[in-house]
Structures are given as C-alpha cells and as structure tokens.
Chains A and B, each alone.
Chain A
Amino acid sequence: MPRLIFVFVLKLALLCGLSAHAQDAPPVAVAPDRSATGGAQTLEDILARQRGEALDDSFRSDATGDPDSAAGIAQQLGTLGGQSDPELWRALRYNSADIRVSAGGDVATVLVQDGGMNWLSVRAGPLRQYGGWLLLGTIAALAVFFLLRGRIRVDGEKTGRTVTRFAFVERMTHWTLAGSFILLGLTGLLTLFGRVAIQPYLGKDVNSVLLIGSKWIHNSVSWAFMLALILVFVMWVAHNIPNKLDLVWIKQFGGIIGKKHPPAKKFNAGQKVIFWSVILFGASISVSGLSLLFPFELPLFAKTFAILNDTGIPQWLGYGVLPTELAPQEEMQLAQLWHAIVAFVLMAIIIAHIYIGTLGMEGAYDAMGSGEVDEAWAHQHHSIWLEEVQKKESAKAENTGATPAE
C-alpha cells in the first residue's frame, strides 16, 4: 500500500509538471521596469528566466498586434495587417495566431507548445528511473522472500484425487489476458528503455527493428488484452466481491507468512487484490491506451483536471489549480506518462502474481495449467470452495443415481 501511495503522489507531481513547476521554485519575480525597452523584454527578464524563476510573460504573450486597427491596405505599412513580424512570431509562440492548415486538423495549427520539453524530461528521467527500480525492487524483494520462506508446500500427503479448479474457457481467457499483458509489458519496456539499454550496445539498427516491431505488437495486441480484461471481469467478478472471510485471511497473512491456512471460497483475499488491481489498473491503462491509439480523438486530462480542481484536492495538496486548457499534444504527453506509470504498477503486481502462481506455491500452477488441483491443495487454500464443489458433485451424483467410486 505505501508503494501505491508513493506512485499516486509521484503521478500527481508528474501531471502537475506541465503547468505548475516544482514547489520549491523561487517566488514570482517582481516585474522590472521595461520603459527603457519600450515594453519589450529586458535583460533582467531573460536572466530571471534562465534562473528558472516563474515569470509573468503576459507582456509578451499579449503583445501580438491588433489586426483590427490595421492601416488600410493602400496606406503606409498597411500590408503588415496590424502586426509586425515580432508580433506575429509571438502569436505563433503563444499559440494565439490564426493558423490555417490544409491537413492535420486542429492539432496541426499548434506550431509551438511547451509541454514537449517537460514530457521529454519526465519520460527520460523519473519515469525510467522509478519505473525501472520498481520492477527490479519487486523482483529482488520476491527473491529475498523466497530465500527466507521457501516454497509454500502442500501439508501432508497429496490425495491423488483432483477437482476442477478452472474450466477450459476460464483458463483460455486467463492466458489470453496474461500472454497479451506480457507482450504489452515487454514491448512497452523496449519502447521506453530501447534508447538507453539497447541502442548503445546493439546499435541503432537493432533498436530500430525492435521498436518498429514493438509498436506493431503493442498497438495490435492491446485489443486482445482489452477483450480478455472484459471477459475476465464478467467471469470472476461475482467471486471477487469482498466479504468478512477476507479479514480472517488478511489477519493470518493468508498462510503465506506462518503455518496457518485460513478458509477461503473460490478466491481468497490475496487473489481478490490481484483481481481488482488487474481490473482497475488494466481499465485505466486501456483508457489511456485508447487515447494514444486514436491520437487527439479522445483527450482525457483537461476534463479530469477540471473535475479534480472542483474537488479542491490539488489545491489542498499544494499543487494549485491544474491546467484545464491543454494543447492536443499535451493531452497525448500526459496520456503517455499516465499509461506508463499505471503499467509499471501493474507489472510489479503481476510479477508477484507470477511468482506465487509458479515458484512460490506448490500446486498453484496446476489450477491454470491443467485446471485440475489435488484435493489436499484445494482443502489447504480454498477449503470452503472445495466443500461447495464436493456438495454439488454429490448432489449431482444422487440425482443421476450413480454410486460414487471408493
């Protein structure tokens, strides 16, 4: 949980980076006297900007000429249309010029936007750093846990009798989701780290081939992930509603730490955490992914920021009012960062899930492999579910008049 809180805070900090710079930025500088330059920027303005001070540059952004009061076309300077060249360039710089393009729509009318540099520095900096360490840290923590706890084994002898834990369609959907997520994770990591982890060692050509392949796989396989996510939700949501039994499981650490084996239905509290993480984080990744798959068509953040501003939470946390007017490119930049941050969190959770489903617990893989688990395993980890299954089977046998085998 502390990790999630940390990531949430990090996310908020990153999101705010486009508009509100770091909290420890120096206070807004007092506007200097610009009479000597006729209102244009002074050396002090330039120096203040270079020192990283927040500067009210409305004296520049607003100085874009006045076409309405232009001299007549036949008069002196009339051909300027009320705007000098510097004023026109300022209008381009601050995105207020009347730009008309023959293709590309509204997006192509934005010729200069500030968000790109912030996006680049976050993506090349904290995103890679914290994301990479999160994954390596998770693997290291699991390795330490394995060394300390060892494999969770089935107590006593196996019975040799099995029960069907997951039907074919459940396992198929699980593997569709799992396989697509692993492909998406790997190609996403190649896209983020290729330039620093592959290009310097294997060259630009290899990196280029990997990136082109990654792009196709990432864009195309995403549909399998989204479809499987919906199917998994529909199949298992009823079994994953939290109940009182989960508190007992949590109290006994699910038998992962210690020797107790708390009772559980089809899914225990730990599995419910995995389920809801996959559903919620997976849905969030899917929404931001769709925004990226259809560039500029599904902007998310200006509206989200407006809602967040209304709650007062960003202001309360000291981030001030979040920007509600974003260039189309900034929407994409934020979608990419959010997509990657949530994906890192889900990857860390899934690494733990893979560990417990394979190396960490004896007999766990069978549930998703063959679908058949030993009764001893089922009794140890899902005792209530086993009783329910056995009751159903004996009721079924009674109805058909069959005699159960000894």
Chain B
Amino acid sequence: MKAMLTGFALIAAIAVGADFALERAGFSAQDQNSGAAVRLN
C-alpha cells in the first residue's frame, strides 16, 4: 500500500513539475504560436 501511494504521489509531483518546467521553458501554446508581430491582448 505504501508503494502504491508513493507511486501515486510521484505521478502528481512529476505532472506538476513537468507543467511548470515546460511553461518556464517557453512551451506554452501562447509562446509557441505567437510572435513579435502578434498582439495577444
């Protein structure tokens, strides 16, 4: 049971970490699909 819960906690940690890291690395859809010539707001 402990191994299972640790595995599930690992999933949550990796998911949040991956989302944060990709966002910071400029892989958001906004960053990927816009440019200097595009006004988003």
Binding site for B on A (CB under 8 A): 102-104, 168, 171-180, 183, 216-217, 219-221, 223-224, 227-228, 294-295, 368-371
Complex formed: what's the CA distance from A369 to B1 in Å?
6
Query: Known contacts being A103-B33, A103-B34, is A220 close to B15, with CB within 8 Å?
Result: yes
Complex formed: what's the CA distance from A295 to B6 in Å?
32
Complex formed: what's the CA distance from A195 to B38 in Å?
32
In the complex the two chains form, is A171's CB within 8 Å of B3's CB? yes
Query: Known contacts being A103-B38, A176-B10, A224-B10, is A371 close to B15, with CB within 8 Å?
Result: no
10 closest cross-chain pairs (CB), A and B: A175-B7, A171-B3, A102-B37, A220-B15, A103-B35, A224-B14, A176-B7, A223-B18, A224-B11, A103-B38
Binding site for A on B (CB under 8 A): 1-4, 6-8, 10-11, 14-16, 18-19, 27, 32-35, 37-38
B contacts with A: majority SS: helix
Residue of B nearest to A108 (CB): B33
Nearest-neighbour CB distance to chain A for B26, whole angstroms, equals 12
In the complex the two chains form, is B37's CB within 8 Å of A104's CB? no
Complex formed: what's the CA distance from A370 to B35 in Å?
53
A171 partner residues in chain B, CB cutoff 8 A: 3-4, 7
A368 partner residues in chain B, CB cutoff 8 A: 3-4
Complex formed: what's the CA distance from A364 to B32 in Å?
47
Between A180, A216, A371, the greatest number of chain B beta carbons within 10 A of the residue's beta carbon is seen for A180
In the complex the two chains form, is B35's CB within 8 Å of A369's CB? no
Complex formed: what's the CA distance from A11 to B19 in Å?
32
Identify 17 new A-B residue pairs, CB closer than 8 A, beyond the known A171-B4, A224-B11, A370-B1.
Answer: A102-B38, A103-B34, A103-B38, A171-B3, A172-B7, A175-B7, A176-B7, A176-B10, A177-B7, A179-B4, A216-B19, A217-B15, A220-B14, A223-B18, A224-B15, A227-B14, A294-B27
Complex formed: what's the CA distance from A228 to B7 in Å?
10
A223 partner residues in chain B, CB cutoff 8 A: 14-15, 18
Residue of B nearest to A170 (CB): B3
B18 partner residues in chain A, CB cutoff 8 A: 220, 223-224
In the complex the two chains form, is B11's CB within 8 Å of A179's CB? yes
In the complex the two chains form, is A175's CB within 8 Å of B4's CB? yes
Complex formed: what's the CA distance from A242 to B1 in Å?
31
Nearest-neighbour CB distance to chain B for A18, whole angstroms, equals 24
A217 partner residues in chain B, CB cutoff 8 A: 15
B37 partner residues in chain A, CB cutoff 8 A: 102-103
A176 partner residues in chain B, CB cutoff 8 A: 7-8, 10-11
Complex formed: what's the CA distance from A406 to B8 in Å?
39
Query: Known contacts being A220-B19, A294-B27, is A174 close to B7, with CB within 8 Å?
Result: yes
Partner of B3, one of A168, A183, A216, A228: A168
Can you list 22 A-B pairs, Cβ within 8 angstroms, ordered by A?
A103-B33, A103-B34, A104-B33, A104-B35, A171-B4, A171-B7, A172-B4, A172-B7, A173-B7, A175-B4, A175-B8, A178-B7, A179-B8, A179-B11, A217-B15, A220-B14, A220-B19, A221-B14, A223-B15, A224-B15, A227-B14, A368-B4
Complex formed: what's the CA distance from A370 to B7 in Å?
14
A172 partner residues in chain B, CB cutoff 8 A: 3-4, 6-7, 10
B15 partner residues in chain A, CB cutoff 8 A: 217, 220-221, 223-224
Partner of B11, one of A102, A183, A294: A183
